[in-house]
Amino acid sequence: MKEKLVEILAEYKNVDPSEIKTDAPFTELGLDSLDVAELVMQIEDELGVTLEMSVKYNTIDKLAAYIEEHS
């Protein structure tokens, strides 16, 4: 799951997946709230899951754990 999220984020930011730190808050990865909303919607579309944008899932690690727990 984590790898898939990294892939989606890397594509969104147009960077190499190796540059994405999975424990870094999205803000540190250069994403503002509009970017996070777009990213969450792309993840929903690609993975067929339902997510809520929340400060509780502000890293790839936390978001992946949430998806795994709820799918």
Partner 1 sequence: MDDRKRLEELNTLLVDTFDAVMQVEEKSLRHVGGGELSIAEFHTLECIGKGEDNRRTVGEIAEALEVTVPTVTVCVGKLVKKGYVTKTRSEKDARVAIIELTREGRKMNRLHRYFHEQMLLAVQDEFSEEEMEYLIRCLRRLNGFFEDKL
Q: What are the two backbone dihedrals, phi and then psi, of residue 52, each rounded to the nearest 5 degrees?
A: -115, 135
Closest CB to partner 1 among 38 and 46?
A: 38
Q: Which long-range contacts (CB under 8 A, 24 or more apart) does 40-49 make?
A: 42/8, 42/12, 43/5, 43/8, 43/67, 46/4, 46/8, 47/4
Closest CB to partner 1 among 33 and 71?
A: 33
Q: Confirm whether 32 is a catalytic residue.
A: yes
Residue 38 interacts with partner 1 (CB under 8 A): yes or no:
yes
Residue 47 interacts with partner 1 (CB under 8 A): yes or no:
no
Residue 15 interacts with partner 1 (CB under 8 A): yes or no:
no
Minimum distance from residue 40 beta carbon to partner 1 (Å): 7
